[in-house]
Structure 1
């Protein structure tokens, strides 16, 4: 999947510093989400420092994967619903309004995780995405993201500031 652009690759530079999915955050997770039919998919391999207890992933990281894959999916779903190509103007960028995560079983460290999403609803400025994380063929986490479109005024302000917005 690395031969095509991820949803997050279309984010304008001034909005690409998110710790979870920002391609311009040198310390971030760099989550990369793609369409896979009617679902979306991202892959992430937790590192030893993502530990909760020996052998298992910290739950906050798993929530971050659900969160950022969900907002990326929301953006792609909105473009698709409007019949527009990703990255076309005006930009469609989404933020989390609600994040729900259920931890079904411990998620092991040292394996590639598959993060999957399915769009449940696209209505106005809101997109609802159901998601799950698979480790070693088993679903270990389920979640839901309610994402809302960044208001045009906020986007205009972010894009008008120039420089490296959000960078410390």
Structure 2
């Protein structure tokens, strides 16, 4: 199965863009049931330099970036599914974060893989609200409510 990010053209995002080799390289995947998108998931293994002040915990900004990117990719995937086409086919669909509310529940140990899960809460033509959670060892460590706003393709044109 191909990651959502790998089906998008020219994605330079720090958190999830395949075109950004210095980024986190998050890979999100869709879960389908009866041909419908029901949720998304991603796994991420932190590196030692993703630490917070204490060396053994994952930085909160990195957690927020993972939740943000996973939420946006969930909205994007959902938009393609609603149009009846595979991610990356036809005219591109893009979203940007309009708002994100993050709640940190517990520290994330730096040497443990994290799991991200997300589901679409609601959508309109121009905006999708996604609920995400970041888990470590089966425990919810952070949650986010991401409001993804549809943006024009011109945002992604190369500029010189």
TM-score, with length taken from structure 1: 0.87
What is the CA distance between 1:158 and its match in structure 2? 3.2
Deviations 1:16-55 (A, max 9, x none): 1110011011100011111124110001011111111131
Is the Cα contact below 8 Å between 1:77 and 1:122 reproduced in 2? no
Deviations 1:53-101 (A, max 9, x none): 1311110000000000011111000011121221122111111001111
Unaligned runs of 5+ in 1: none
Aligned residue number for residue 27 of structure 1: 22
* Whole-angstrom distance in 2 between the partners of 1:96 and 1:145: 7
Task: Tell me the matched-pair count.
Answer: 154
Is the Cα contact below 8 Å between 1:81 and 1:122 reproduced in 2? no
1:6-21, aligned counterparts within 5 Å?
6-13=3-10, 16-21=11-16
TM-score, with length taken from structure 2: 0.91
Specify the SS of the correspondent of 2:148.
strand
Aligned residue number for residue 158 of structure 1: 156
Aligned residue number for residue 127 of structure 1: 128
Specify the SS of the correspondent of 1:71.
helix
Question: RMSD value over aligned CA atoms?
Answer: 1.5
Unaligned runs of 5+ in 2: 33-37
Runs of 4+ with deviation above 4 angstroms: none
1:51-62, aligned counterparts within 5 Å?
51-52=51-52, 53-62=54-63
Aligned residue number for residue 144 of structure 1: 145
What is the CA distance between 1:157 and its match in structure 2? 6.0
More strand by share: 2
Deviations 1:86-144 (A, max 9, x none): 11221111110011110001111101100000110121111110000110110110111
Is the Cα contact below 8 Å between 2:48 and 2:55 reproduced in 1? no
Specify the SS of the correspondent of 2:68.
helix
**Is 96-105 or 77-86 further displaced after alignment?**
77-86
